[in-house]
């Protein structure tokens, strides 16, 4: 039982690395520069390793013989891989308050987490894995002594855990920034409502009082601008330090941060323009 678990763990790491290699090459060629597409620092994409285990444990047993049930392999692979991708996106978004990939512009997508095109890819991958890759992999690994496999799993697992700790720390920095931005935007909206009521009452007062109040409001907006500048600075610091790789690998992630800050700046300018008349 333990031996089987260790072999499955080894398969997870091997195909996490293979998936990382394929996706990194694909994205790097498309962007004409090196893009590390892994969530972790190391050359692994765990979602591909998890997908390989699903294909091996749940899909492969349905695939014998190829002439009769290949369609069942494809359909089952598509469904299970879509579930995996959707849940991975959902969980990561809830944990880190950020969307790591977004298929909202793709045909037949579900909440931007999965889409028809990638579902078809998963179906193709499941067929190739079950009938070509898995037999080759099991044959090659069969030549490696079990004790060597066990040592390899132990070493890789320790490195993986260290990598995971540093990566989670970086993503938590992003999570804090996102929460701070959202909280500030909410406060700014509430502040705008308060200022609107104050301005309406000011209009009934004398011109001197109105002028004094406008000066007071201008000073308050200076505080708002300083807070926005601080957010921009914080975003820049995060981008230039530990999470630069994540922002570089996931353009959607950096785009969300910048979009949120632009929305706050726009909201502040909108409120300011209303009370400068």
Q: Rounded to the nearest 10 degrees, what angle do helices 66-96 and 46-54 cross at?
A: 140
pLDDT tens for each residue of 166-195: 777 767 766 666 676 677 667 666 666 666
pLDDT of 200 reads: 59
- How many helices, marked H, and strands, marked E, lie in the chain? 9, 2
Average pLDDT for runs of 10 along the chain of length 277:
85 93 84 76 87 93 77 94 93 74 87 92 93 93 91 92 81 69 68 61 50 58 63 56 59 65 68 59
Residue spans of the domains in the chain: they are 2-143, 166-274
Residue 206 pLDDT: 46
Provide the pLDDT for residue 53.
94
Alpha-carbon distance of 14 to 60, in angstroms, equals 18
Q: What is the pLDDT of residue 155?
A: 94
Q: How far apart are CA 271 and CA 273, in angstroms?
A: 6
Predicted pLDDT at 207:
47
């Amino acid at each position: 039982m333990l031996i089987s678990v260790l072999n499955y763990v080894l398969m997870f790491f091997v195909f996490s690395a293979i998936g990382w290699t394929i996706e990194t090459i694909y994205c790097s060629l498309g962007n004409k520069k090196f893009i590390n597409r892994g969530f972790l620092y190391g050359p692994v994409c765990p979602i591909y390793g998890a997908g390989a285990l699903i294909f091996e444990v749940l899909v492969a047993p349905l695939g014998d013989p190829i002439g009769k049930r290949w369609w069942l392999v494809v359909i089952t692979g598509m469904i299970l891989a879509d579930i995996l991708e959707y849940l991975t996106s959902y969980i990561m978004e809830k944990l880190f308050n950020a969307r790591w990939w977004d298929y909202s512009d793709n045909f037949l997508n579900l909440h931007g987490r999965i889409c028809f095109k990638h579902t078809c890819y998963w179906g193709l991958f499941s067929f190739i894995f079950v009938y070509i890759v898995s037999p080759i992999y099991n044959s090659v690994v069969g030549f490696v002594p079990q004790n060597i496999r066990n040592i390899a799993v132990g070493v890789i697992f320790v490195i993986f855990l260290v990598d995971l700790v540093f990566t989670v720390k970086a993503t938590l920095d992003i999570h804090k920034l996102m929460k701070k931005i959202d909280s500030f935007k909410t406060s700014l909206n509430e502040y705008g409502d308060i200022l609107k009521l104050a301005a309406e009452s000011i209009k009934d007062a004398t011109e001197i009082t109105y002028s004094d109040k406008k000066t007071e409001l201008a000073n308050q907006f200076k505080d708002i601008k300083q807070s926005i500048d601080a957010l921009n600075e914080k975003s820049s610091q995060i981008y230039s330090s530990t999470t630069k790789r994540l922002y570089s690998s996931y353009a959607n992630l950096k785009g969300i941060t910048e979009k949120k800050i632009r929305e706050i700046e726009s909201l502040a300018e909108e409120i300011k323009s209303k009370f400068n008349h």
